[in-house]
Amino acid sequence: MRVYFTYILSFLALVTIGSSCVNMRDGELTGDTEDWKISVNYSAALAIEEQPLRAAITDYEEHKVHNLYLFMVDGDGNILNRKFYNYTDLQNKKEYGGNSSDPTEGTVEISTTSALRKIYAIANVGDEFTPSILDITRTLLSDQEKVKDEKSLKSLFAQLSNNTVSRINGRLLMSGVTELDSAPAAKSTVDVELVRVAAKVQFTIKAGAGISFTPQSWTVHRVPKRVSVFPSSDLYGGVNGADDFFDITAPKVFEGDAEGGEAANSFVYYQLENIKPAKNTPANYKARELQIKRDLGNGKVENGAWVNAPDNGTYVVLTGRYQKSEKDGTETIAYVKYTIHLGYINGNAADFNCKRNTFYQYDITVKGVDDIIVEANATNHTHEPATGAEGQVSNGPRKLSFDSHFVQFVMKFEKNALKAVFDNEQDLSKLYIVNTPFGPKDIDWVEFYLNPTSAPSQVAAYPGRGHRDLRNVQQMFEYLKNNLSQTPFVRESDGSEYVYFTVFVNEYYYEDKDFWEFVNKPDRSMILLVGGKNYISHDTKSEYSETRYGIWQKSIKTGYPYGVSDALGFETLDESVGVEFKFDAKPTYYDWIGIEDGTGAGWRNPIGNSRNDGWFNSVMAWALTNGYGYRNHGKSVENPRDEKHWKTNSNNQKVRRWTNYVDTHSIVEADAVNRYKDGMCSEGWGTYQLVEDGQTDKKSNLVYKTLYSYNKARYACLSRNRDLNGDGFINKDEVRWYMPAVDQLTDIWQVSGALNREDQMYREPSFYKQAGRKSYVHYLSSSVTDRTSDIDWRNNLQVLWAEEGCSTSNLSNSMAWSKLEYRNHSNRCVRALNSSNTPDKVVSSPSHFDSSNRVISVLTNGTIDPNIYRDVNTDRLTGEYPPHSERSPFNRAASKFQVAKGFCTYMNGINKGFKWNERNNVSGCSSYTEDPDGRDRGTWRVPNQRELQLMAQYKLVGAYASQDYYNGAVDKQYLAKPLQVWSSTFYSNAAGTDLVNDPRAFIGTDRGVALQRQRNSFQDQHSQPTSPIPGFKLRCVRDYLQ
């Protein structure tokens, strides 16, 4: 008999065909002695698409049947026969073509008897060659004691091997049943439709008109660990035990998409079916997340169990930042959290199900925070207008938003407003609201300095820590209250009197805390209630403040694995955005250092050219030690970390005066940076203005001496620091923020999966369009080049092309890129994070290479962040990655992977390399082997972009050697030159960067990663069939589990 399998694929197409047998070997018949063959046509069902409101694998893989297990059952429930089919056993295969008219199909033949009445099918089971994320395996299905009849078939449950919502290997478990009224005729055909046992869930967040909403994180809760292989008639799907569910509590970031728009605010995950009835019927959608309120007796309530939603119904929690400029000139900022139960199909508020083989697409539009405000203002503790929404909302004049480093600005208070609040409020602690990771008493991070009436609006120089004239917010209000009549006020043109303070905001760093307690945290804030009010909801989940003054500061960000002892921290914004570059004219002598002295002593002695030590590069470029690199041009072996070079009584101390680099009485104003065209509030300001050309020690050979020159960028990170002891000199402990080395920039990309999209070095192109900029963003490193040219190479820094992820080049190449505006060169200043609070400590790389076995592994402290790396212990990949771009979750590096000993060198029968469309063919990594018996064949893959970047960092891409010359691969002229090696990652942002008709993919050399055309002719790959110019090669990798 022939069985045709048709997969029902919509959102997920799962097709499973199963046959079982009792007390017999696989494929052996029981029952009638007469048997005949029939054909079974299988097909994968289209997934049902539901839209109640992209870690996604490809549609092709969602529909693919890799193997099939059939069970032939008689009318009494006895298994007549069972048989397993490998992929090669499936006949007349037709893979999914992209629409319902072109489904996955195939045919297999099987022997049966006239007693046949049902065919059970299961597809994509685990076998000895390919492990499965579910425990339904060929071995289990062949066990005639465990699967002995139709009842045991119906009782089969699939259990996850680990708690994950990823399906990187694809191979989605499918099942299907076909019932027959009578026995099929010999040589007849029976159709079986397969459906997936899992659902696919996608959320997309949108913002209403005039609203800026930045999604920050998502988690998913009550995710089933197990599911019935065949649909269950049980009210709860047979899954409702205390241990049947898990929660993804570690915040996951939104996937983002270089194409921008809505795709940049979305995510996709997979979960097993979860059928749960409502406890009660909600009156409307807003009542779906209603919780029982337990009165605490103090005007507050405690949230309890769900009122309407099932206890084990799956729900998602989203967080984000809301910002809107109101018509009255005020601004509303809110940090919100939304809880959303799955279901709600066709507007049914009582539907909390997540059904198998269904694609749930939730479009969430944020229209405002009025419901949160109403809840915070409610006098009745049962009044909860939006049960799934909660957060902290602040409304008032424009807020002061700063980055994570040191900043300063001037704030003024009106005399009558101060007198009013002091008369009405005796408890001064109620005049401010502080929100930080360490609670409302954490107030010392903002210091107030009373400005003199002679220069009230001018920023004061920092007098030094512990100075008597520096006050925290409590001390500032106490001083004003006790000295209101003696305080020097300034009368202004409106007739009102004002007192001015310089406000010093410290870096978001606590020297007495473990840095993991404060990095990657929400903005810390201080709201001053001078003329405003504060409301808190009865359940304390929502807060609303009306205020005149509010200070927000972003936390230091890092993508390093949680718990490591040292990490690289970095800022979020770029206060020097808009820097334009003009190279200095070629000097009459060569001098590689950042400060010319009129000699040629610097020839071939570049300083500041470390690839992984930005502090070292920056200190030398800024010439702070005077003994290392400045006068000696890098010839000296003196260590800039040596304390002797930082003494104020030696080494020409004038070089290290703060006023030689910055104007301590002038700051970058808010309107000068990061302003959108529509007038939305700018962020990222308050750093000191650089003096002309970066420092006052003039260069003797500069043609361009204005602020837009190269030096403005080179010294920009110095302005993120502060004269902490107030002595006027830059001390070693005060060099906390510096310009990253080039490998530190690529390391930020390597770990950027853990960062919110707004904190990454590249945002979606729509963001730059809104800001009136082109969607190319190139970041400067502190690493200089090491070769000569007709231009002044001391300016030729290494540059990261952020729109491509981790591609790098020299500054001269970046400037020559015709699509790039000069002002799109940016800075991302960094600092060391470590337990010893040592700013100059060399930061470890987030990865490690073991040369003994060619294994690259990530640094961990027992846990691996799945946003950054794919944990090979729980999410193992065999074979190639699904098609993906650099922004895809499939571009995460494996937590531990091994690099092949050698290269694949085949190209159309010529030993010159591969074209793009050949990289995954049978002559590539899929057939590569190192084991003598070939058992490792099929385990190797083409590395993704991040894996290739790590290979390049550890010099594993390689250079052509003599053997390549002797075997005819290259001409002699190419010996020792870098190889070009394919990744499996294509470029997502072709449309955003004017390459829509020129698709590209990523290659690597030992110098780094770059883009290459995807075209497939030899000429496009720089190699004619008879040309000696090398083509692109493959160096395979595989997950390493030892």
What is residue 743's predicted lDDT score, i.e. its pLDDT? 93
pLDDT higher than 90, residue 385: no
Residue 379 has pLDDT above 80, yes or no: no
**Cβ–Cβ under 8 Å, residues 104 and 95:** yes
Statement to judge: residues 887 and 755 lie in one domain: no
Exposure class string for 923-954: b at 16+ Cβ within 10 A, else e = bbbbebebeeeeeeebbbbbbbbbbbbbbbbb
Ranges 89-103, 929-943, 998-1012: which has the least confidence: 998-1012
Whether residue 562 lies inside any domain: the answer is no
How many CB atoms neighbour CB 852 within 10 A?
A: 6
Return the half-sphere exposure (C-beta side, CA atoms, 13 A cut-off) of residue 516. 10
Residue 41 and residue 5 in contact, taking contact as beta carbons nearer than 8 Å: yes
% of the chain surpassing 90 pLDDT: 30
- 284-332 pLDDT per residue, tens: 888 888 888 787 776 666 778 899 999 999 999 988 887 777 777 677 7
H, E, C per residue of 704-769: CCCCCCHHHHHCHHHHHCCCCCCCCECCHHHCCCECCCHHHHHHHHHCHHHCCHHHCCCCCHHHHH
The pLDDT score that the predictor gives to residue 593 is 41
Q: What is the mean pLDDT of residues 618-625?
A: 82
Task: Using DSSP bridges, classify how beta strands 566-570 and 407-414 pair: parallel, antiparallel or unpaired.
Answer: unpaired
Give the confidence band of 983 by pLDDT, cuts at 50, 70, 90.
Answer: confident
Report which DSSP code applies to 926: G
Tell me if 536 is assigned to some domain.
yes
Range of lowest pLDDT (348-362, 663-677, 791-805, 862-876):
663-677
What torsion, rounded to 10 degrees, do the Cα atoms 626, 631, 635, 638 define?
A: -20
Same domain? For 819 and 898 the reply is: no
Better pLDDT: 190 or 999: 190
- Amino acid in the structure at residue 962: S
Q: What is the pLDDT of residue 424?
A: 82
Within this chain, do residues 65 and 75 fall inside the same structural domain, yes or no?
A: yes
Q: Does pLDDT of 452 surpass 80?
A: yes
Looking at the DSSP bridge assignments, the partners of residue 609 are none
- Assess if residue 564 is contained within a domain: no
373, 396, 419 — which closes off a domain?
Answer: 396
Residues 821 and 875 in one domain: no
One-character DSSP codes across 259-272? T-GGGGGEEEEEEE
Structure confidence by residue, pLDDT tens digits, 963-974 = 555 555 556 665
Q: Clarify whether residues 743 and 764 are in a common domain.
A: yes
Same domain, 619 and 544: no
Whether 657 has a pLDDT exceeding 90, the answer reads: no
**For residues 63 and 174, what is the distance between their CA atoms, to the nearest angstrom?**
10
pLDDT of 894 > 50? The answer is: yes
Q: Are 657 and 728 in contact (CB under 8 A)?
A: yes
Tokens (6 digits) for 174: 């499918």
| Highest averaged pLDDT of the listed ranges 36-50, 151-165, 370-384 | 151-165
Residue scoring higher pLDDT (1035 or 30): 1035
Give yes or no: residues 520 and 662 share one domain: no
The Cα 410–Cα 28 span in angstroms is 87
- The range of the structural domain enclosing residue 805 comes to 571-845
Greater confidence, 665 or 210?
665
45: Cβ contacts below 8 Å, ≥ 6 apart: 6, 7, 8, 9, 10, 13, 14, 15, 103, 176, 193, 194, 195, 196, 357
Q: Which of 314, 292, 366, 293 is nearest to 336 (CA)?
A: 366
Highest mean pLDDT among 266-280, 311-325, 619-633: 266-280
Q: What is the enclosing helix (H) or strand (E) of 315?
A: strand 315-325
Amino acid at 397: P
Q: Please count the other Cβ atoms lying within 10 Å of the Cβ belonging to residue 496.
A: 14
Q: Residue 518 has which token pair? A: 């404060």
C-alpha–C-alpha distance, residues 71 and 152, integer Å: 12
Query: Residue 920 CB: number of other CB atoms within 10 A?
Result: 20
Tell me, yes or no, whether 579 and 612 share the same domain.
Answer: yes
Tell me how far apart the alpha carbons of residues 80 and 112 are, in angstroms, rounded to a whole number: 7
Residues 488-531 pLDDT 10s? 899 988 888 889 999 999 999 999 999 999 999 989 999 888 85
List Cα–Cα distances, 896 to 162, 851, 1003, in angstroms: 18, 13, 21
DSSP output for 605-665:
---S--SS-HHHHHHHHTT-SSTTTTSSTT-----TTSGGGG-TTSS-GGGGBGGGTEEEE
Whether 833 has a pLDDT exceeding 80, the answer reads: yes
pLDDT at 504: 98
- Check pLDDT > 70 for residue 1011: yes
CA distance 827 to 620: 18
Mean pLDDT of 141-152: 94
Confidence label for 112 from pLDDT (cuts 50, 70 and 90): confident
Does some domain include residue 558? no
Looking at residue 482, what DSSP letter applies? Answer: H
CA separation for the pair 1005, 837 (Å, rounded): 36
Pairing of strands 446-450, 497-505: antiparallel
How far is 171 from 270, CA to CA, in rounded Å? Answer: 12
**CA angle at residue 118 from 113 to 121, to 5 degrees?**
105
Tens digits of per-residue pLDDT, 62-87? 888 889 999 999 999 999 999 999 88
Does 679 have pLDDT greater than 60?
no
Token look-up 């590689």 returns: 592
pLDDT at 36: 57
Q: State the alpha helices, DSSP H only, in 387-467.
A: 415-424
The larger pLDDT score, comparing residue 390 to residue 738, is at 738
Residue 560 domain flag: no
Task: Kindly report the backbone phi and psi dihedral angles of residue 245, in degrees, each rounded to the nearest multiple of 5, phi listed first.
Answer: -135, 160
**How many Å apart are CA 579 and CA 224, to the nearest integer?**
52
The chain-wide mean pLDDT, for the chain, equals 77
Computed on alpha carbons and rounded to an integer, the radius of gyration of the chain in Å comes to 33
Cβ–Cβ < 8 Å for 804, 1003: no
Which of 226-230, 342-346, 620-624 holds the top average pLDDT? 226-230
HSE-CB at 542 with a 13 A cutoff on CA atoms is 26
Q: What would the two tokens of residue 416 be?
A: 């009558």
Q: CB–CB of 284/363 below 8 Å?
A: no
Cα distance between residue 63 and residue 100, in whole Å: 11
Examine the domain organization and report whether 686 and 795 are in the same domain: yes
Same domain, 549 and 441: yes
Beta carbons of 404 and 508 less than 8 angstroms apart: yes
The per-residue pLDDT for 532 is 52
Cβ-based neighbour number of residue 386 at 10 Å:
18
For the segment 105-124, the average pLDDT, to the nearest whole number, is 91
Candidate ranges 182-191, 858-867, 954-963; pick with highest mean pLDDT: 182-191
The last residue of a domain, from among 796, 817, 845: 845
Ramachandran class of 709: left when φ > 0, alpha when ψ lies in -120 to 50, beta otherwise: beta
Total structural domains within the chain: 5
pLDDT (0 to 100) of residue 1035: 87
Q: Say how many CA atoms lie within 13 Å of 585 toward its Cβ.
A: 7
> Does position 265 have pLDDT exceeding 80, yes or no?
no
> Of 525, 553, 581, which residue constitutes the final position of a domain?
553
Q: Which of 224-233, 516-525, 678-687 has the lowest mean pLDDT?
A: 678-687
Cα three-residue angle 1033-1039-1042, rounded to 5 degrees: 130
Top-ranked range on mean pLDDT: pick from 610-624, 667-681, 733-747, 853-867 = 733-747
Distance CA 872, CA 684 (A): 39
**Token pair recorded at residue 485:** 């009549």
Q: Which residues pair with 382 in a beta bridge?
A: none
Q: How far apart are CA 504 and CA 660, in angstroms?
A: 21
Is residue 563 a part of any domain in this protein? no
Place of tokens 């017999």: 24
Q: Provide mean pLDDT across the span 129-150.
A: 88
Dihedral pair phi/psi, residue 268, rounded to 5°: -135, 140
Give the bridge partners for 848, in sequence order: 857
How far is Cα 333 from Cα 551, in angstroms, rounded to an integer? Answer: 11
Which among 693, 697, 696 is positioned nearest to 709, based on CA atoms? Answer: 693
1008 shares a domain with 923:
yes
Q: Is the pLDDT of residue 596 over 90?
A: no
pLDDT for 699: 43
Question: Cα(first)–Cα(last) distance of the chain, in Å?
Answer: 46
Token pair listed for 866: 């799945």
pLDDT of 588 higher than 90: no
pLDDT at residue 467 in the model: 97
Largest CA distance in the chain: 111
256 shares its domain with 333 = yes
Region 140-153: mean pLDDT is: 94
Q: Which of 729, 763, 754, 808 is nearest to 1011 (CA)?
A: 808
Bridge partners of residue 292, in order along the sequence:
none
Task: Record the tokens describing residue 214, joined without a space.
Answer: 């930045």
- Model confidence at 725, pLDDT cuts 50, 70, 90, reads very high
Average pLDDT rounded to a whole number, residues 219-226: 95
> Which range among 294-308, 836-850, 882-896, 902-916 shows the weakest confidence by mean pLDDT?
902-916
Closest to 115 in 3D by CA, of 145, 150, 75, 155: 75
Q: What are phi and psi of 148, to 5 degrees?
A: -110, -15
Q: Which amino acid is at 948?
A: L
756-806 confidence digits (pLDDT tens): 777 888 877 767 776 677 778 889 898 877 554 555 555 578 899 998 888
Within 10 angstroms of residue 666's Cβ, the number of other Cβ atoms is 13
- What lies within 8 Å, CB to CB, of 852 at 6+ separation is none
| Tokens describing residue 277 | 């009835």
Average pLDDT over residues 874-894: 83
